[in-house]
Structure formats: C-alpha cells, structure tokens
C-alpha cells in the first residue's frame, strides 16, 4: 500500500511553481536545522564559558577563605605540639596524677578549649601523648589513659600515616566522634567529620611523641562553601590524594568522575562531568599551601533552558520570515511562469501542426527573449514547411517520372533483343504476335498520370510478357499463378511483377536444363499484402544475393548498375507510394531457386501519390 501511494505521488503532475516552492522550503528547513544546531552549540559554549569565569572568581574567594582557616589550624597545631605543658607530660614515664601532672593537664585543656572557642571552624581537639594518654576538649579538665587497642582512631591507617609523616598536616573524612576516645559516649552526635592531624616528636620507646587531631565544624564549613558558591551549588573539597573530604550536597552512588584531576598539575582548570543524571562541567582550583582542591560542579540544565528559549525565539522569527519570503516568492514565481503557460499552450498548437502561431508579450527580460525567439521560430517553420511541401511534391513527381523513364528503355531494350533473336531464328514468322503483346504491355507505361491498376490487370500483362518469352524459350519457362479471386481487384503499381519475373528468367533459367517454373502467389499478413514470385532455378550464391539486396537500399539506387535496375526500380516505386515499411524482400540459395516477396499495404489502402 505504501509503495502504491508513493508511485501515485511520483506520477502526480506537479507544477514548476510548486516544485520551486517545495525546493525552497526544503532549503529553508535545512538552513533552519543547521542554524539551530549552530545557535545551540554557540549559546552553550558562551554560557559554559560564562559559568566557568564566574566559578573561577568564586573558587578564588573560597581558596582565600580556606587558606585563612588552614593558617589558623597550622598555628593551633604548632602551639599544641610545642607547648611546655605538653612537652612536660610527654617526658613523664607514667600518667600518675599528682598536683604537678594535674596542673599541666589543666593548662593544656584550657589552651585547647580556648582554641576551639576562638576558631568557629574547630569542632573538637584531641591530643594523644606517647600513644597511652589523650586530652580532649570534649573531656572536662582531665586526662584519660588508653591504649591502641581501646581507641579506634589509633588503629586506623590515617593515624599511622600521621605518625609516619612527622610535622605534616594531613586531612581525612568519614570518622565519627566516638572513634577518638576509648569509651562510647551515647550522647555524642555521630556525624561524619573532617579530621586534621599532625604528629611531632618521637624518641626512644615512643617518648615525647605527640599527635594532634582537630575535627572541623562541617556546618561552618558548609556555610562557608555555600556563601562562596551559592545555596544550590554543588561544591567538593578534596585532599592531597583527591579523596572526597566534603560536599555541599548528598551524592548518588557513583558521584562525579573526578579522575581528570589526576591527569595534570594545573592550578586551575575545567573538564566535563556528570552528576545526578545531569551533564555539565567541573571547575577546580588547587590550594598550594594546604594541598586541598576545591571543585564546583555546574549543571548544563539551566544553560539548556536558556539555549532552548533562544532556539524557540529563533525558530519563530525564522518561520515568520520564511512564510513571508515564500509568499513573496510564490507571487513572483506566478508572475514569471504566467508567460510560460502561454508559451506551452502555443507550443502545443505548434506541435499539432498550426505553424506560424504567435505570442504577444510585453516582457523585456529573458522570458521575453524566449517568447520573441519562439515567434521567429514559428514563422520560420511555417515558411520552411510551405517550401518543403512544394519541393517535396515536385521532387516526388519528378522521381516517379524518372523511374518510369528509366525502366522503359531498359525493358524495350530487352524485348528488342528478343525480337532480334526471333527474326534470326524463326525468320520473323511470330513477329506480329510479339509486337501486339509488347504494344499491349507498354500501353499503361506510356500513359501520363496513370495510377495503380488492379492486380488482375497486372497478371494479364504478365501473361502477355510470358507469351513473348515462349517464342524465345519455348516450353522451358512455365508461369504458375495462384491467386484468390478477391485479390484480383487489389490495386498495384503497373509493371511491378514483370521486372521481377524477367529477373527470375534471366538468372534462374539454365540452358538445356529442366523446365523453369515461376510461381506467383499472394497472402495477407496483418496489415500487409505479400505477393511472392518464386522460381525453381539455379538460385544465387551469397555474394550475388548480397549485391542484389544492397541494390535495393536507397543509397544504391543511382541507376548506374544495369544488372539490378529492374528490381531497384520496383522497390523504389513501392517505397515512394506506400512508405519504407513496404517494398521487396529477396531470399535465394544456390540450387534452391529464388523468392521475391512484394509487400503492399492490405486493404483499405492509405492514400498515395496520383502517379505510379
């Protein structure tokens, strides 16, 4: 069904105006699609570049804030690691609580509490001394003795890394407050923390070893990042190993792919990323002093909405302009093609035979030139047709008369030779009979403007010719005529059969051979009447047959080859009277005789020239 509809659409006549309109509409559609694609990419590129520049400014501000926090943490860590009270406790061989030991602990606790109160980003502070005692801001004015087995943080890789990286401040995340002491505090709010750790001092048997761990206030850090990047922004804080320390919003299971950060050491940059099913870009900046990396994720959703809104405006404007352009173009095409309709109409009249038709057009453009040239061509065709008609009529009559004049002396010459032989052989006893037969045969030839004669009349003349041949060949030549009675009235040009029978006798008769029989038959084949003249003589070889057939072609009918002038004359008269479909067809083979088929139009016959 689809194929049938497609064929109907293809076969449907479509005007040139519609073709041009549809072609222009298709071009406009392609231009609009390409324009939308370019506008989309260009708009997204501009918006992404704008977001990236704005994000760099925000990252710079956040880096400055984090650097201040980092410097404050460094100061607090160094203050604790090298405090005299801390060094004094670290030098003790035991944690026996006496007045002096309690005084050191009280001073250290006061120092740590002051640090936490003065720095809003510090949530809690832990001081581990020689891996068997710690002081914390969450424990009031006391020191707790614990071992590695009772404090979970001391068993972690982070603690081991702190101890192995002396005087280096390290960051980690994900620990809870209960992991930093040896007993469980149910009232503690076990929220994931950002932990900063640093170790210093290690001597024989772990004496004078101090480890400071500070847990940051994530709420204050979240407020800092949101104040820098906005409430609805996605910001990430990464450590030196590019592990996630903190994010301003919950992440899905996969989270953003931050692996491009490890591929270079640029202080700042940008790369494509995806988060929560959206695509966008991640803009980052590295903090040289702390080793932290700040990343802001920017979704393309808002940019896509802006780009889509711009595309809608573009489409509406483009469609409006396209409709206006198509309307003007349709009007212009109609004005341009209207003269072509008149031209097509006159060309149809010219095609139907009305030569000389004219078109009136006031146009002074290319179409006007075409119409003016059409008028000139139509006039020239009318003059040429009139001249050709006159010339063709004169040429047709002259050619037929020339062919008649060509065959007359040829035939007379052959008959006179027969008469000559008869006079010598028979002492002119039968001369009167031959002359009478010859006169009867030549009577229609010398008449002017004679048309076709009935086939029966042509057979009568052929029998008269055979009477003349009988005086030359005796009973050695026999004529067998087999025609249906209704065909005797078929018109045929005069002297059509005689030259063919003459040619059969001349080329088929074998002296001292068997009797030569010439058969004349007729049959209808579709719209053609075929009269066959067949002899049982010696026939022709291939080369002779080729020469005879070649003489029937128009280019060979020059009248200079007397051997085949009779056949070529008959063939030419038939083609002139009835057209190239009709004429002679010859078949022959050595020892098998010769057959000449005369093709004529079957009744009713088309009108032909008045002369034969």
State residue 91 phi and psi, 5-degree precision.
-85, -15
What is the pLDDT confidence band of residue 521, given thresholds at 50, 70 and 90? very high
Tens digit of each residue's pLDDT (9 = 90 or more) over 260-273: 888 877 888 888 88
Per-position b or e across 573-597, b if 16+ CB within 10 A of its CB: bbbbbbeeebbbebbbeeeebbbbb
CB atoms within 10 A of CB 110: 12
**% of residues, the chain, pLDDT over 70:** 77
Q: Is the pLDDT of residue 610 over 50?
A: no
For residue 10, the model assigns a pLDDT of 46
For residue 21, the model assigns a pLDDT of 75
For residue 597, the model assigns a pLDDT of 92
Measured at the CA of 493, the angle between CA 491 and CA 496, to 5 degrees, comes to 115
Task: Specify the range with the lowest mean pLDDT, choosing from 101-110, 185-194, 345-354, 555-564.
Answer: 555-564
Q: Is the pLDDT of residue 442 over 50?
A: yes
For residue 559, the model assigns a pLDDT of 45
Task: Specify the range with the lowest mean pLDDT, choosing from 189-198, 407-416, 511-520.
Answer: 407-416
What is the pLDDT confidence band of residue 3, given thresholds at 50, 70 and 90? very low
Rounded average pLDDT over 246-252: 75
For residue 262, the model assigns a pLDDT of 81
Task: Specify the range with the lowest mean pLDDT, choosing from 343-347, 432-436, 585-589.
Answer: 432-436
Using an 8 Å Cβ cutoff, are 598 and 493 in contact?
A: no
88: left (phi over 0), alpha (psi -120 to 50) or beta: alpha
H/E stretch holding 238 reads strand 234-238
Tens digit of each residue's pLDDT (9 = 90 or more) over 53-69: 888 998 899 899 999 99
- What three-state secondary structure class fits 211? strand
Give whichever of 127-141, 398-412, 478-492 has the largest mean pLDDT: 478-492
Interatomic CA distance for residues 557 and 550, integer angstroms: 9
For residue 612, the model assigns a pLDDT of 42
Which CATH code is given to the segment(s) 397-601?
A: 3.30.565.10
Q: Is the pLDDT of residue 607 over 60?
A: no
Q: Whole-number mean pLDDT of the chain?
A: 78
Distances (CA, A) of 159 to 180, 211, 387, 561, 568: 10, 9, 119, 127, 124
For residue 596, the model assigns a pLDDT of 92
Give whichever of 63-77, 194-208, 463-477, 480-494 has the largest mean pLDDT: 63-77
What is the pLDDT confidence band of residue 519, given thresholds at 50, 70 and 90? very high
Higher pLDDT, 557 or 300: 300
Q: Is the pLDDT of residue 431 over 70?
A: no
Domains of the chain: which residue ranges?
397-601
What is the pLDDT confidence band of residue 425, given thresholds at 50, 70 and 90? low
What is the pLDDT confidence band of residue 520, given thresholds at 50, 70 and 90? very high
Instruction: Give start and end residues of each alpha helix (H) in 527-591.
Output: 542-551, 565-578
Rounded average pLDDT over 185-209: 70
CA proximity to 110, closest of 90, 127, 133, 132? 127
Tens digit of each residue's pLDDT (9 = 90 or more) over 200-241: 865 545 567 889 999 998 888 888 888 888 877 888 888 888
Tens digit of each residue's pLDDT (9 = 90 or more) over 566-600: 888 888 888 888 888 888 999 988 888 899 999 99
């Amino acid at each position: 069904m689809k194929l049938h509809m497609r064929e109907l659409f293809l076969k449907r006549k479509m005007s040139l105006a519609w073709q041009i309109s549809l072609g222009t509409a298709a071009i406009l559609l392609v231009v609009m699609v390409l324009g939308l694609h370019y506008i989309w990419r260009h708009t997204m590129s501009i918006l992404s570049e704008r977001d990236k520049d704005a994000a760099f400014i925000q990252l710079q501000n956040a880096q400055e804030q984090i650097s201040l926090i980092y410097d404050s943490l460094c100061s607090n860590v160094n203050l604790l690691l090298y405090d005299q009270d801390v060094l004094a406790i670290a030098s003790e061989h035991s944690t026996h609580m006496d007045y002096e030991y309690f005084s050191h602990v009280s001073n250290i606790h006061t120092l740590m509490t002051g640090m936490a109160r003065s720095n809003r980003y510090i949530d809690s502070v832990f001081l581990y001394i020689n891996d068997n005692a710690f002081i914390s801001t969450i424990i009031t004015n006391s020191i707790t003795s614990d071992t590695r087995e009772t404090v979970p943080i001391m068993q972690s890789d982070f603690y081991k890394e702190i101890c192995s990286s002396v005087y280096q401040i390290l960051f980690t995340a994900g620990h809870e407050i209960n992991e930093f002491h040896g007993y469980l505090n149910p009232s503690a709010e076990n929220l994931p923390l950002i932990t900063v750790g640093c170790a210093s001092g290690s001597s024989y048997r772990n004496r004078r070893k101090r480890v400071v761990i500070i847990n940051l206030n994530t709420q204050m850090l979240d407020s800092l990042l949101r104040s820098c990047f906005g409430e609805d922004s996605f910001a990430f804080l990464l450590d030196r190993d590019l592990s996630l320390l903190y994010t301003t919003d919950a992440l899905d299971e996969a989270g953003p792919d931050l692996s491009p950060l490890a591929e270079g050491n640029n202080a700042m940059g940008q790369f494509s990323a995806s988060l929560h099913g959206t695509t966008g870009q991640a803009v980052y900046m590295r903090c040289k002093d702390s080793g932290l990396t700040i990343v802001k994720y920017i979704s393309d959703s808002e940019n896509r909405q802006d780009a889509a809104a711009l595309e809608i405006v573009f489409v509406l404007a483009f469609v409006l302009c396209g409709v206006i352009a198509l309307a003007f173009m349709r009007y212009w095409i109609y004005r341009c093609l209207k003269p072509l309709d008149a031209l097509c109409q006159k060309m149809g009249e010219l095609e139907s035979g009305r030569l000389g038709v004219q078109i009136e057009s006031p146009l002074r453009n290319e179409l006007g030139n075409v119409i003016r040239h059409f008028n000139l061509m139509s006039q020239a065709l009318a003059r040429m047709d009139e001249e050709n008609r006159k010339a063709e009529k004169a040429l047709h009559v002259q050619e037929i008369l020339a062919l008649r004049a060509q065959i007359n002396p040829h035939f007379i010459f052959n008959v006179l030779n027969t008469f000559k032989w008869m006079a010598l052989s028979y002492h002119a006893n039968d001369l009167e009979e031959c002359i009478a037969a010859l006169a009867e045969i030549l009577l229609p030839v010398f008449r002017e403007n004679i048309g076709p004669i009935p086939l029966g009349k042509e057979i009568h003349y052929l029998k008269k010719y055979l009477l003349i041949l009988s005086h030359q060949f005796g009973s050695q030549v026999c004529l067998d005529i087999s025609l249906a009675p209704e065909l005797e009235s078929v018109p045929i040009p005069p002297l059509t059969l005689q030259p063919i029978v003459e040619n059969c006798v001349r080329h088929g008769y074998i002296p001292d051979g068997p009797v030569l029989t010439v058969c004349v038959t007729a049959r209808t084949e579709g719209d053609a009447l075929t009269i066959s003249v067949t002899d049982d003589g010696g026939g022709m070889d291939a080369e002779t047959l080729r020469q005879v057939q070649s003489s029937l072609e128009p280019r060979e009918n020059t009248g200079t080859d007397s051997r085949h002038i009779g056949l070529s004359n008959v063939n030419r008269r038939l083609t002139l009277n009835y057209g190239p479909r009709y004429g002679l067809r010859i078949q022959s083979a050595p020892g098998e005789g010769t057959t000449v088929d005369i093709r004529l139009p079957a009744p009713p016959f088309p009108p032909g020239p008045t002369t034969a």
